[in-house]
Amino acid sequence: MKRILLVDDHRTALSALHNLLELDGFSVVSLDSGTAAIERLAVEGFDAVVTDLEMPGANGVEVVRAARTLWPEALVLVITAFPGSPMSSRALELGARRIISKPLRYEVLEQELRERLGGMDGSVH
Amino acid sequence: MDAIARQRGLEVPGDPPDVSPGETAPLLTRQDRVLLVCGAAVILVVVLGAVEALVIGTGLPPESARWVYLGRGALASVLLGLWAGWTVMRFYRRLERERGAFQEQSRVLAERARRAERSAGLAALSRQLAHEVRNPLHAIVLHLRLLRRQIGGEPVEACVATVERLEEEVARIDRLVEEHQRHLQSANPRVNPGPVDLLALLSEESARHRAALFRTGVTLRSELPEHLPRLYGDPGLLRQLVQQLGQYAAENVAPGGTVRLRAMEEDRSVCLELGADCAACEETRDAAGSVLRRAIIRDVARVHGGEYQEEQEAGGFRIRVRLPLGDAG
């Protein structure tokens, strides 16, 4: 089962996305702060990291940097209310695969994950 | 506020220039008079030159010629003095005109800077609002998607919980829009100034907010003086300011925290201070709508000629508003 790290400070959205991804067969770890996500990435790898950008404390750019540095093979996707912002550009520069705008069309995320991660069996890490 | 500004002797944009009734412009300006005198002097010098030529030509005694010389010399000195004075006066007037133009230009530039600052503030605020609105929309869309899945096989309780979350998010958007509208109204408020008993207003509102905060586990300590002078301001806007302070405290202080509301008279002003001590709290929340609340408080203080300061620190915050007394104190 592919493992996904989900990061968003908006807990209501986080729980809904967590449930949807689990219903689609992913193993999901949800964290509501960038700082907690970076700490988790330091000790554990994921097949994909899906992160919000604007968060108090460590923001999404720092999560992208940590994910790409510590786990270069991981797929990194960013969800943001401002896809054209300098922060989004910075996230792409650091290796985010795609910027997905809020409100999220779930099909877009699901398709991206299925295409990039392939089947649901086994884990990269 | 225009009325307050006029009472304080300040210039109000759009007012006609200050001209006293019954005062009429003189027929000749000072410059015209100087020119007339100079012209008359030149004519006199020419006439005296002609007299001198006549004296020399007719062979009158030398004493007569001396008086003509002296007269002409004196007149030439006066003429030179007048010319120098007129030149200096003209230069001074030009400087005055340039100083006036410079002052006007400074005023226009200051006004432009104020508008630019305001536009930048509104742009930042709109961006913040867009972010705040898109977050609950994001959550709603995801929960709708989840609900669609749950309807297929999940128990009814799960569906009801999802619907409740959707309702909460919709209410959140509604609050944001309402706050935004309120802010836009207070950004250019219609001010109806009058004497305001701020102490009574603070006592009334703090009693109301103390009960509301108590229900959320937050303690409100109001430190109000026995006497505060009356303010000259808009009672409705000032009440809104105090209410926004209370709402801000309710949204940003976690259970277990303490809020202090202080008021004091300082240098022909009244200072309001809202501080939160959240040492016992896990975190100080920056709730949705707080940006708008701070903007409303800042704008109400601004239209009353006051000042707004805020400090955010770990485990707390401090908001300080200074309101000048005006003429009601």
pLDDT in tens, A37-83: 999 999 999 999 999 998 888 999 999 999 999 999 999 999 998 88
Q: Is B47 helix (H, G, I), strand (E, B) or coil?
A: helix
A43 touches chain B (CB under 8 A): no
pLDDT at B325: 86
Query: Averaging pLDDT over each range in A30-44, B5-19, B25-39, which range is the top one?
Result: A30-44
Percent of chain B with pLDDT over 70: 73
- Given a cut of 50, is residue B15 above it in pLDDT? no
Q: Work out how many CB contacts closer than 8 A connect A with B.
A: 55
Cα Rg of chain B (Å, integer): 37
What is the identity of the amino acid at A96? Answer: A
Please judge whether B141 and A105 are an interchain contact, meaning their C-beta atoms are less than 8 angstroms apart.
yes
Contacts of residue B135 in chain A, CB cutoff 8 Å? Answer: 10, 13, 81, 102
- Where residue B20 falls among pLDDT bands split at 50, 70, 90? very low
d(CA A72, CA A50): 14
- Please say if the pLDDT value at position A106 is more than 60: yes
Listed residue (B147, B149, A121, A16) closest to A50, CA to CA = A16
Residues with Cβ within 8 Å of residue A103, at least 6 apart in sequence: B134, B137, B138, B140, B141
Identify the DSSP state of B189: P
Q: Say if residue B8 is exposed, middle or buried (CB neighbours under 10 Å; 0-12, 13-18, 19+).
A: exposed
Among B residues 52-111, those touching chain A with beta carbons less than 8 Å apart = none
In this prediction, residues B308-320 reach a mean pLDDT of 81
Strand partners, A52: A79
What is the ipTM score, two decimals?
0.82
* Residues A96 and A77 sit within 8 Å (Cβ to Cβ): yes
Pick from A25-39, B16-30, B205-219, B272-286: least confident? B16-30
Q: What is the pLDDT of residue A98?
A: 94
Dihedral sign computed on CA atoms, order B282, B134, B249, B307: positive
Question: In the prediction, which pLDDT does B279 show?
Answer: 56
More confident residue, A87 or B289: A87
CB contact under 8 Å between B138 and A104, yes or no, is yes
Give yes or no for B135 touching A (CB within 8 A).
yes
A28, containing H or E segment: strand A27-31
- pLDDT for residue B65 is more than 90: no
Question: CB under 8 Å to B37, separation ≥6 — which residues?
Answer: B82
Q: What is the pLDDT of residue B164?
A: 78
Contact B138 A102 (CB under 8 A): yes
Please check whether residue B165 touches A, CB under 8 A.
yes
Q: What is the pLDDT of residues B260-305, one digit of tens each?
A: 999 999 888 999 998 887 654 544 455 556 777 888 888 888 888 8
Q: Output the pLDDT for position A99.
A: 94
Identify from B128, B137, B145 which residue to disrupt to test chain A contact, counting A C-beta atoms within 10 A and taking the largest count: B145
**B positions 279-298 inside 8 Å of A (CB):** 286
Q: Across B58-178, where does the E strand assignment appear?
A: none
Are residues B181 and B240 in contact, defined by beta-carbon separation less than 8 angstroms? no
Neighbouring CB atoms inside 10 A of B174's CB total 11
Q: What is the pTM of this model?
A: 0.48
pLDDT tens-digit series, residues B141-158: 888 888 888 777 667 777
Measure the CA–CA gap between B296 and B240, rounded to whole angstroms: 9
Say yes or no for a CB contact (<8 Å) between A56 and B286.
yes
CB contact under 8 A, A13 and B142: yes
- Residues in chain B with CB shorter than 8 Å from the CB of A104 are 138, 141-142
Could B142 and A23 be called an inter-chain contact, meaning their C-beta atoms sit closer than 8 Å? no
Distance between CA atoms of B113 and A125, rounded to whole angstroms?
Answer: 56
Residue type at B67 in one-letter notation: W
What is the pLDDT of chain B when averaged over all its residues?
Answer: 76
Nearest CA among A10, A2, A11, A8 for reference residue A45: A2
Type of residue at A38? I
Does the beta-carbon distance from B131 to A10 stay under 8 Å?
A: no
A111-120, B1-10, B245-254, B280-289: segment of lowest average pLDDT: B1-10
pLDDT of residue B172: 75
Q: How confident is the model at residue B26 (pLDDT cuts 50, 70, 90)?
A: low
- Please give the residue of chain A at the shortest CA–CA distance from B131: A81
**Residue A13 forms contact with B (CB below 8 Å):** yes
B131 near A CB under 8 A: yes
Q: CA-to-CA distance for B83 and B73, rounded, in angstroms?
A: 15
Alpha-carbon gap: B267 to the closest alpha carbon of chain A (Å): 39
| Residue B194 one-letter amino acid | G
Residue to mutate among B142, B147, B312, with most A CBs inside 10 A, is B142
Provide CB contacts within 8 A for B44, sequence distance 6+: B75
Cα of A24 to nearest chain B Cα, Å: 11
Tokens of B212: 């509301």
